[in-house]
Amino acid sequence: MPSTAELAPPSTSSHSAAAANASAASFAALVECVGYLDASDIEQLRRAYRFADEAHLGQTRKNGEPYITHPIAVAVECAGWKLDAQALMAALLHDTIEDCGVEKREILERFGSPVAELVDGLTKLDKLHFTTREQTQAESFRKMLLAMARDVRVILVKLADRTHNMRTLGDVPRSKWGRTARETLDIYAPIAHRLGLNRCYRELQELSFAHLFPWRHAVLTKAVKRARTRRVDLIDLVKKEVHQALSSAGIQADLQGREKSLFSIYRKMRQKHLSFSQVTDIYGLRVIVHDQLQCYTALGVLHQLYKPLPGRFKDHIAIAKANGYQSLHTTVAGPRSVSIEFQMRTETMHWVAEAGVAAHWLYKARGLKNEGAEVLGTQWLQSLLDIQRDTSDASEFWDHIKIDLFPDAVYVFTPKNEIIALPRGATLLDFAYEIHSDVGDHCAGGEVNGQAVALRAELRNGDVVSVWTDSKVSPSPQWLSQVRTGRARAKIRHHLKTLAESESRDLGQRMLEQAVRAEGFARLPPQEDRYRALWDRVLRFSGNRTRDELFTDIGQGKRIASIVAKRFLPLLAELGERPDPILLSQARFAASEADATSDNLVLDGSESTMVSYSQCCHPIPGDRIDGYLGRGEGIAVHRLGCAVGERLRGKDAERFISVSWAEQPIRNFNAALEVVLANGRGVLANVAQAVAQAEADIVHVDMGNEPAAASAQLRLLVGVRDTEHLDTALRILRRLPSVMGVERI
């Protein structure tokens, strides 16, 4: 085995011998941390080190040290997580492609494909620049997550890289602190947190805080130091009492004092408007015991020793957090009535709590069985991969991720008592998608704690949830407003997109034809040689590659037909074509008589996803209606005079298009009624009978909560053919003696 001495650069280099020794010495430091690897792995590491050292020759860090000290420090950090040899080699090589012009092929040939892929993934991350513009941020983020979902080791090395760069941020000019620290706080720290790498998360937060707000950081540091000296006696007393109590219960425990990080103190003070002492007057102690049972026993012992504060006990052992975290939490009133927070956990739980996904390698290194930390972490990665695959728009993706990255979870149970974690506010439909995307796509409803609920019903901690599926059900645009998880939203959008593409293309073409006609041209310029240049210019203007794509965009409301149509005018004029005055005046006439135009969109109820009948006014055939072209959500049909529609018209008039009913709609439509009933026996049955007599269907009933009052208000959704049919139903209802009034709403 070659000694490190012969790795020293040739004396002709500008490097000083001292600097070379420094880096060789620090490789020795790395070797000291990798006792868990075998000799051949270490030899591989040495080869990677030698290659990287040569590649970085002559480069220095901002503090003047040879550059190689940085990759070594990153590898040491990764060795702390007991990552495997491939990951450590990638850590050593992580800047060689980007900074030294080494090619991926070379790394592939020397070190094999897995290492080359890791380094390549890291290089890509290095090129990302997060700006405050959301679009760019989303784009970068997505690439980063792509790499991440392929191999979580890329993210771990990247986090180690970022950690070392943050530790040495003091060496770079102050003007660069803000951006790097912000980015760390906004992007990297949350990722570390989400992956359960708590120690790394706290350090990144702490370093970001120190560089973003050096003065506030300094003040808090001092305050914490002062508080610490004040509480030493108390903590010692508590430790002694707890130790005694636990050992007389036969429990050997490791007691650790726990301090809030400066950043979390700072954030609590700001967010909750608390004073420093309010935030820090709670002491924290961690009790690490041998097994899970002892966690609960220790809890019982503590609750006998000190009085527990109500509502502060949390069992994160039975219900682990989404990132794998497990512990029992309780707060008690300790000596001198000071509040003390206790965490009880096993050693294994402790590793997971500190190292998250990286605990996987920690287990391996210690020859222990992996207990699920990695499984949970990669489940999350898998769901990111799903989102990524179903989404093409960068800012949309960012929206999904933002929701998933900052979880505020609720825990619900399947009928088989499996625990499912969902973000707060998640609905039955989210739950269905969490089970399986097929279950989500065909979700027809479900039960929460044995009660039938709607798709949009919000789930609460501890709910027992089951869903019903129906193969005839499929996602509609309204579903998007009924889910909260990024996963469900991406799945729904994906489904709608595929289904709606051809529909919206046809719709868009018709709309553009209509708009061109309004400008005085009988038809769209056909796809002929004569119009090729014209189409090219229109497409360049709209930013589409093909005509079909343009039509689809118009049909989905991403582009406005009338604006595109106006674009044709000068181009057609260049070809010597002028608008037809008769068509123009017709268009003007039609504009004043909304329904008169013959070539508007005709609705017969067969439209699936691109047309929706709005829930605010429930239009039915016979009503005067128009269509609002939502952004990417197709057309929502409103009754004229509907308050919601009018508000939209106020701010978005150009998105309205004229629509009309077909002569013979193919299905029934729902109308909403409000019925005031004299309270009495059997009145509901009477109403149902009357509706049936009118040959209408009751789709939904909603009754006011005042059963004791003399009258009751009933909201009905009835399925009818058209306004005439509805009038018949209303007449029959009004004849009932128990009905005091009926009105359509």
Could you give the count of Cα atoms lying within 13 Å of 488 in the half-sphere of its Cβ?
31
- Determine contact, residues 561/512, Cβ cutoff 8 Å: yes
Is residue 434 annotated as part of the catalytic site, yes or no? no
Could you give the count of Cα atoms lying within 13 Å of 640 in the half-sphere of its Cβ?
12
Which is nearer to Mn ion, 161 or 386 (by Cβ)? 161
Please state the three-class secondary structure of 626-639 as a single string: EEEECCCCCEEEEE
Please state the closest distance from residue 405 (CB atom) to Mn ion, in A. 23
Which is nearer to Mn ion, 151 or 354 (by Cβ)? 151
Backbone phi and psi for residue 92, each to the nearest 5 degrees, phi listed first: -65, -35
Q: In what order do the strands lie in the sheet with 669-678?
A: 697-703, 711-720, 669-678, 739-744
Q: CB count, 10 Å around CB of 571?
A: 17
Please state the closest distance from residue 180 (CB atom) to Mn ion, in A. 12
- Determine contact, residues 199/354, Cβ cutoff 8 Å: yes
Please state the closest distance from residue 104 (CB atom) to Mn ion, in A. 17
Distance CA 220, CA 459 (A): 40
Please state the closest distance from residue 96 (CB atom) to Mn ion, in A. 10
Distance CA 22, CA 63 (A): 13
Which is nearer to Mn ion, 52 or 210 (by Cβ)? 52
CA angle 174, 176, 178 (to 5 degrees): 90
Which is nearer to Mn ion, 163 or 427 (by Cβ)? 163
The two structure tokens encoding residue 473: 């059900």
The two structure tokens encoding residue 562: 């009338």
Please state the closest distance from residue 70 (CB atom) to Mn ion, in A. 6
**How distant is the alpha carbon of residue 79 from its chain centre?**
31
Which is nearer to Mn ion, 95 or 203 (by Cβ)? 95
Which is nearer to Mn ion, 96 or 482 (by Cβ)? 96
Which is nearer to Mn ion, 200 or 432 (by Cβ)? 200
Question: Residue type at 294?
Answer: Q
Please state the closest distance from residue 95 (CB atom) to Mn ion, in A. 5
Could you give the count of Cα atoms lying within 13 Å of 357 in the half-sphere of its Cβ?
25
Please state the closest distance from residue 244 (CB atom) to Mn ion, in A. 49
Range list of H helices, 543-606: 547-555, 561-574, 581-592
Q: List the one residue out of 209, 193, 48, 181 whose CA is nearest residue 119.
A: 48
**Contacts to Mn ion from residues 147-186, by CB under 5 A:** 161
Q: Which residues contact 653 (CB under 8 A, 6 or more apart)?
A: none
Distances (CA, A) of 398 to 218, 515, 560, 569: 34, 34, 25, 38
Please state the closest distance from residue 128 (CB atom) to Mn ion, in A. 13
Q: Determine the 3-state secondary structure of 703 from DSSP.
A: strand
Please state the closest distance from residue 93 (CB atom) to Mn ion, in A. 11
The two structure tokens encoding residue 32: 């000291």
- Residue that is written with structure tokens 């700006």 in the block: 131
Which is nearer to Mn ion, 161 or 183 (by Cβ)? 161
Please state the closest distance from residue 126 (CB atom) to Mn ion, in A. 7
**Contacts to Mn ion from residues 254-313, by CB under 5 A:** none
List strand residue ranges (DSSP E) for 157-247, in order: none
The catalytically annotated residue of 43, 98, 106, 315 is: 98
Q: Mind giving me the DSSP string for 354-417? A: HHGGGHHHHHHHTT----SHHHHHHHHHHHHHHHHHH---HHHHHHHHHHHHS--EEEEE-TT-
Which is nearer to Mn ion, 126 or 186 (by Cβ)? 126
Site string for Mn ion, 352-381 (x = CB under 5 A): ------------------------------
Backbone phi and psi for residue 650, each to the nearest 5 degrees, phi listed first: -60, -40
Site string for Mn ion, 451-490 (x = CB under 5 A): ----------------------------------------
The catalytically annotated residue of 54, 99, 447, 722 is: 99
| Residue 513 touches Mn ion, criterion: CB under 5 A | no
- Total binding residues toward Mn ion, as defined by CB under 5 A: 2
Which is nearer to Mn ion, 62 or 460 (by Cβ)? 62
Please state the closest distance from residue 388 (CB atom) to Mn ion, in A. 25
Residue with the shortest CB distance to Mn ion: 161
Q: Give the single-character DSSP code of 187.
A: I
Question: Residue type at 725?
Answer: H
Distance CA 599, CA 517 (A): 9
Is residue 99 annotated as part of the catalytic site, yes or no? yes
Q: CB count, 10 Å around CB of 319?
A: 15
Which is nearer to Mn ion, 95 or 626 (by Cβ)? 95
Distances (CA, A) of 472 to 292, 442, 443, 475, 615: 47, 7, 10, 10, 21
Site string for Mn ion, 90-129 (x = CB under 5 A): -----x----------------------------------
Binding footprint of Mn ion on the chain (CB under 5 A): 95, 161
Query: Catalytic amino acids?
Result: 98-99
